[in-house]
Structure 1
Amino acid sequence: MKYKLAIFDLDGTILDTLQDLTDAVNYVLEKYGYKKMKTQEVRGFLGYGGKNLITSAIGQEISSERFEEIYKCYIDYYSTHCDIKTEPYEGINQMLENLKAAGMKLAVVSNKGDKQVQILIENHFKGLFDFAHGERKNVKRKPDKQAIISIVDEFCFNVEDCIYIGDSEVDLLTANNSGMDHIIVDFGFRDYQFLKEAGAEVILSSAREIEDYLLNV
């Protein structure tokens, strides 16, 4: 087994959070008088964190005060509605259990707020991850390498011993910026052609494929 540590993205990689995110976005858009969005429109904005999502959803320049009010409303709503329709992708839990049983360390790094990350990890993956971090103060968001390298350092591993798994161009950049091997999945928020054009070299289509790759590479 080549890798000692697998670091996963959350949304679109191990959890299908799209509908709950769409519902939260549309809640604030409707409340503040903006046009609601279709699910696939929201899908294209995901990956860069909540503030980027709301900025893109509003689609026009507004004052910083109004933005912060809308963003706070979004965070408050999503924090209490982040696990209504969200579910792990097929086979993910069994894959994680098998990787853990094989001795691999497992972690999550997400651009989602840390509060929501902890709720979702507790509800869906209790006991499976050694570390799980969302967006935090004084830690740069992906694709910056800071959060990734901090976890590698926690285990005293070399970057070469680790692999990053995600579903978007943000995740590919994160892996590259960290000097780390990658797996990018095409069952999340980006499709195969988009990922191929973005430069992904290892694109997999199921939890079983991820497990086989990690245990046998």
Structure 2
Amino acid sequence: MLSTHNTKNIASVLFDLDGTLLDTADDLGAALNHVLSQYGKPQVAAQDYRPIASDGALGLLNLGFGDAIKQYDYEVLRKQFLDYYQENIAVHTCLYSGVAELLQHLETNEIPWGIVTNKPEGLTKLLLPHYPEFSQCAVMVAGDTLTKRKPDPAPILYACKQMSVDHQQCFYVGDALRDIQAGNSAKMTTFVAQWGYILSDENCQSWQADHIIAAPLDLISFIG
């Protein structure tokens, strides 16, 4: 996993959002359990929904309903999920430990940073203002900002263009295989956020990231 990139000559850092900067699992899980309760279905425990949290409404509803989801109108379920989530978007959500300090380090060293997420733009714009630590975010590209989303590299390359930085001198940090695939396709230095929503039996080594880091502040040693 040794990178051929010069990690000290870094122009910018881009992050995934859910499971990388913000722990959004409990608010997403609450939305899932709200929908399940409407249909008399059993609630899903946090330990079960947490690893699926970054898969969004589709992944969570499939988890909760299982094969029975075929008996329902998925679009109705999705609307119920998103309506509840939108109304309760920042009840339990918090920054991961070390994220505030990492962002402050980047800002102090005048390294621009941004967010590239598959979360819908409307929800992302609703969520980010709850956290003043994100006030210096240089760019935000969401799952529906473009016609393509991760694992396609287009959103990451678009973010770099918006920041006027060389994508090959950019880090991309994320907690899902699609993040690493997108970053690698864009020829960026990629980092697995091991603290995020990763299944216990998932082999992150196989994702072919340049680096795997256990905590947000571990990124600082690659910046210098």
- Give TM-score, length-normalised by structure 2: 0.86
> d(CA) in 2 for partners of 1:141 and 1:151?
12
Q: 1:113 to 1:208 in 2, by over 3 A?
A: same
CA contact (8 A) 2:176 2:192 kept: yes
Length, aligned pairs only: 214
Indicate the residue corresponding to 2:82 in structure 1: 75
5+ residue gaps, structure 2, are 1-7
- 1:202 has 2:211 as partner: yes
Q: 1:32 to 1:133 in 2, by over 3 A?
A: farther
Aligned partner letter, 2:190: H
Indicate the residue corresponding to 2:117 in structure 1: 110
- Give the alignment partner of residue 150 of structure 1, picking from 152, 158, 164: 158
CA contact (8 A) 1:43 1:189 kept: yes
5+ residue gaps, structure 1, are none
For residues 28-57 of structure 1, the C-alpha deviation after alignment (integer angstroms, 9 at most, x for no partner) is 122133332222222232334433432343
> d(CA) in 2 for partners of 1:122 and 1:174?
26
Cα displacement (A) at 1:71: 0.2
Question: What is the CA RMSD across the aligned residues, in angstroms?
Answer: 2.1
Indicate the residue corresponding to 1:98 in structure 2: 105
Name which of structure 1's ranges 31-40 and 82-91 shifts more when overlaid on structure 2: 31-40
Percent identical pairs in the alignment equals 24
Indicate the residue corresponding to 2:34 in structure 1: 27
> d(CA) in 2 for partners of 1:147 and 1:139?
9
Cα displacement (A) at 1:101: 1.7
> d(CA) in 2 for partners of 1:45 and 1:79?
19
Secondary structure of 1:117's aligned partner: helix
Aligned partner letter, 2:205: K
Aligned partner letter, 1:59: G
CA contact (8 A) 2:28 2:53 kept: no
Name which of structure 1's ranges 202-211 and 75-84 shifts more when overlaid on structure 2: 202-211
Secondary structure of 1:13's aligned partner: coil
Secondary structure of 1:129's aligned partner: coil
